[in-house]
Every structure is written in C-alpha cells, then in structure tokens.
C-alpha cells in the first residue's frame, strides 16, 4: 500500500491524483497520516510513503519522523530519477542508511544504463510507470513494456503503475510477468462517485485473481 505525502508539485500525477494532492495540502496534518497509515497497516504487510523531491528536502525531519512513527517500510520519490538525477546516489544512500527501503521509480523513458545503475545501489522492489503521468492514456504495448524491464532487471520484483484502468489490465500485466500493480486514479474516481460497491467489487476481483 502506498500513501502520498501531499504536494503542490505532483508533476508525475495526472489530474485526478493532483486534485487529491491539492485537497491533501489544505487538510494535511500528521495525526491524519498516522490514522491512515495505522488503518492501512491492518490491511497490508508493508506500507510505503510517496513524496516528491522538493517536499522531501523541505520536510526531511518531519518525513523521517512520519516514516518512523507510522511504520512505513520505505520511500518512493517519483521525480528523483528524472528531474534531480544528479542527486540520486546521495539521497538513496541517505534513505537506506536511515533504515528504510528506497523504491526506484522508472518509466519507459528511463535509459537502460540508468535502470541498471540505480538498481545496483538500491535494494528494494522497483516501481515502473507505464505512462508519463498517472491516470492518462497513451497507446503502448503492455507486453513489450513488461518484457523490456524484466529483461533488464532479472529476478527483481517489479510493480507497475500509471494508467491501469481495469482488473483485466492487472491480469494482463501479471500474465506478462508483473509482480504487482499500483492502482490510484481508478479507485479515486470510484470514491468521488460514491461508488463504494464498485470499489469493493474491484478489490474483491483483485483478491480473487491473486488467490487463483
């Protein structure tokens, strides 16, 4: 499970998730993140915090405090390897040196050598964005995308996100060799429409698929 640290610079999130960031920035307090993470921990073995680079640097102590108090396993910084590439080694070492997993975030524009190099210095699973931004839809071949990253990172757990629209999308990704899928926009849209039954059904379908 992944929880986002509210940001005004959620550049790699699409319109839906950006709106949730916008609301999060206004309403954020540490108590709410503690409550949310406690709730998530009852459902998930591990929980991860996603924070954009500038928010992480500006709120370093606060974020490490949240990671510790709330029992997060690690941190995802979606813009680190694109807009702040020069800083990646120092930040990865710092996060891992503090006892947390650093989750590398790659996308189809990540060069092969960058994927190899960053994966060598990080020790966790890998997050691979299928699209340039969450929730948007541009044409691509799921099969080819998954094969590509699997061929570069053999024996590494890879979870996919961005633009996953249905249980069928997840099923296909898994059939191509994905270990997991991150779903955000789809669920947020259901919640906005108060489609709680649809939400439950979707989660149920995922569980059935996982257990099959």
Partner 1 sequence: MISTQNTDIIPENWYNVVPDLPEPLPPPRDNDLHKSSIELLNRILPKKVIEQEFTFRKYEKIPDEVMELYEQIGRPTPLVRARNLEKYLDYKGKIFYKFEGATVTGSHKINTAIPQAYYAASEGIQEVTTETGAGQWGTATALASSMNGMKSKVFMVNVSYRQKPLRKTVMNLYGAEVIPSPSTITETGRKFLSQSPDHPGSLGIAISEAVEYALDNDIRYLLGSVMNSVITHQSIIGLETQKQLEIMGEEADVLIGCVGGGSNFGGFIFPLMRDGRKRTIISSTAREVPKFSKGKYRYDYVDNAGILPSIKMYSLGSDFVPESIYAGGLRYHGASPSLSLLVKNGIVKSEEVGEKQVIDALRIFANTQGIVAAPESGHAIASTIEYVKSNHDEKKTIVVNVSGHGLLDMSIFAGE
Should residue 180 be labelled a site residue for partner 1 when binding is judged by CB under 8 A? no
Q: Is residue 25 involved in binding partner 1 (CB under 8 A)?
A: no
CA distances in angstroms from 38 to 1, 19, 35, 47, 67, listed in the order given: 12, 24, 5, 10, 12
3-state helix, strand, coil in the chain (%, to 5): 55, 10, 35
Q: Which of 7, 20, 37, 107 binds partner 1 (CB under 8 A)?
A: 107
Angle at alpha carbon of residue 89, lines to 87 and 91, rounded to 5°: 65
Binding partner 1 by CB under 8 A: which of 145, 153, 164, 183? Answer: 145
Residue 136 in the binding site for partner 1 (CB under 8 A): yes
Contact pick of 15, 65, 99, 177 for partner 1 (by CB under 8 A):
15
Q: How far is the CB of 89 from partner 1 (least distance, A)?
A: 12
Q: Which stretch binds partner 1 (CB under 8 A): 56-64, 96-104, 107-115, 173-181?
A: 107-115
The answer to whether 128 touches 151, Cβ cutoff 8 Å, is no
- Are residues 54 and 30 in contact, defined by beta-carbon separation less than 8 angstroms? no
What residues line the site for partner 1 (CB under 8 A)? 11-12, 14-15, 18-19, 22, 81-83, 85, 107-114, 131-133, 135-140, 144-145, 148
């Amino acid at each position: 499970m992944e929880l986002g640290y509210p940001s005004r610079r959620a550049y790699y999130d699409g319109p839906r998730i950006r709106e949730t960031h916008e609301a999060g920035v206004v309403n954020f307090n540490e108590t709410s993140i503690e409550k949310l993470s406690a709730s998530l921990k009852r459902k998930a073995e591990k929980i991860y915090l996603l924070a954009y680079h500038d928010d992480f640097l500006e709120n370093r102590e606060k974020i490490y405090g949240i990671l510790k108090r709330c029992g997060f396993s690690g941190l995802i910084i979606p813009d680190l390897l694109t807009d702040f590439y020069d800083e990646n080694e120092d930040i990865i070492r710092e996060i891992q040196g503090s006892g947390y997993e650093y989750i590398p975030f790659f996308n189809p524009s990540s060069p092969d050598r960058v994927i190899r190099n960053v994966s060598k210095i990080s020790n966790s699973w890998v997050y691979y964005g299928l699209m340039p931004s969450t929730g948007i839809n541009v044409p691509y071949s799921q099969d080819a995308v998954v094969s590509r990253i699997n061929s570069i990172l053999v024996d590494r757990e890879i979870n996919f996100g961005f633009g996953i629209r249905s249980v069928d999308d997840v099923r296909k990704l898994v059939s191509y060799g994905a270990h997991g899928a991150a779903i955000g926009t789809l669920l947020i849209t259901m919640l906005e429409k108060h489609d709680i039954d649809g939400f439950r059904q979707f989660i149920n379908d995922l569980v059935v698929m996982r257990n099959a």
